[in-house]
Amino acid sequence: MPLSDALRSRLRKPAFPRASAYDPAWLLDSWMGPNPLWLAEGLTSVMPIEAGMRVLDLGCGKAASSIFLAREFGVTVWAADLWVTPSENFRRIEAAGLAGRVLPIHAEAHSLPFAEGYFDAIVSFDAYHYFGTDDLYLVYLAKFLRPAGRLGIVVPGLVTELAGEPPPWLQPYWEPAFHSFHSAAWWRRHWTRSGIVGVEVADDLPDGWRLWAEWNEVCAEAGAGLDGGKVAAREAEMLRTDAGRTLAFTRVVARRHR
């Protein structure tokens, strides 16, 4: 995908030095939603990831975040997704030179084909809110973490919980799937009451809504994503209209109890 120097420069952020080293065209070709490398670097700034770990990247999309984690941190990553086939992801992984370190898996979040206690860490970017709001899901997922292993997510969220309908300025853009968005405080309560984990971090990714909007603007200008970038353009318009009053990226890290 040919990109102008101006668009390339917009995807290089001082806040994300690791992510900024990746080819923007490659990243746009991996489009599945918000910038997965920004989310991954934002999570790993508050969640320890150490060389040699076994990591599950749950809902990995086109495996960009899995490739990033394996290359940057020296871990082995199981890249699990329901919608993108392992064959498609393997071609991308092989081209990145990581065929032995990133293992593509077809998996549904409620039927994971792994041994209990297998992973040192489980991460999920722009995916966990689709299945993890279930009251019982964390109890199921935590089985696959070793004792003291960590779970970390970054998902679209809310600054504070909505009392009812979305605010008027968001109503033209609102979709039923957005009801899965929650605040950091909501996620802290949701995970803590499971009794399975201790929450270490529950906050908003700094400047998250602006990053989310800017990524969508770049995608729209480059024609990336659904409908030649029109979906990204509408999402960017929504985020600029909201201006951080309601929408955020929620970041949560928890450690499984021993």
Q: Could you write out the three-class secondary structure of 151-216?
A: EEEEEEEECCCCCCCCCCCCCCCCCHHHHHCEEHHHHHHHHHCCCCEEEEEEEECCCHHHHHHHHH
Q: Give me the CATH number covering residue 116.
A: 3.40.50.150
* Phi, psi (degrees; rounded to nearest 5) at 122: -125, 130
- Does pLDDT of 229 surpass 90? no
Tell me what pLDDT residue 230 has: 92
- Does pLDDT of 226 surpass 90? no
- Does pLDDT of 239 surpass 80? yes
Q: How confident is the model at residue 121 (pLDDT cuts 50, 70, 90)?
A: very high
Tell me what pLDDT residue 84 has: 97
Q: Mean pLDDT over all residues of the chain?
A: 95
- Does pLDDT of 3 surpass 80? no
- Does pLDDT of 2 surpass 80? no
**pLDDT: is 121 or 8 the higher one?**
121
Tell me how far apart the alpha carbons of residues 44 and 48 are, in angstroms, rounded to a whole number: 6
Cα distance from N-terminal residue to C-terminal residue, the chain: 47
* Phi, psi (degrees; rounded to nearest 5) at 206: -55, 130
- Does pLDDT of 194 surpass 60? yes
Q: 38 lies in which domain range?
A: 5-256
Residue written as token pair 């802290």 = 188
**How many domains does the chain divide into?**
1
Tell me how far apart the alpha carbons of residues 35 and 126 are, in angstroms, rounded to a whole number: 9
Tell me what pLDDT residue 6 has: 82
Residue written as token pair 């668009």 = 7
Kindly state the percentage of the chain with pLDDT values over 70: 99
- Does pLDDT of 215 surpass 60? yes
Among 30-34, 132-136, 158-162, 202-206, name the one with the lowest average pLDDT: 30-34
Tell me what pLDDT residue 1 has: 53
- What single-letter DSSP state applies at residue 12? -
Contact by Cβ (8 Å): 57, 142? no
Q: How confident is the model at residue 10 (pLDDT cuts 50, 70, 90)?
A: confident
Tell me what pLDDT residue 105 has: 98
Please count the other Cβ atoms lying within 10 Å of the Cβ belonging to residue 18: 16
Kindly state the percentage of the chain with pLDDT values over 90: 89
Beta bridge partners of 202: 252
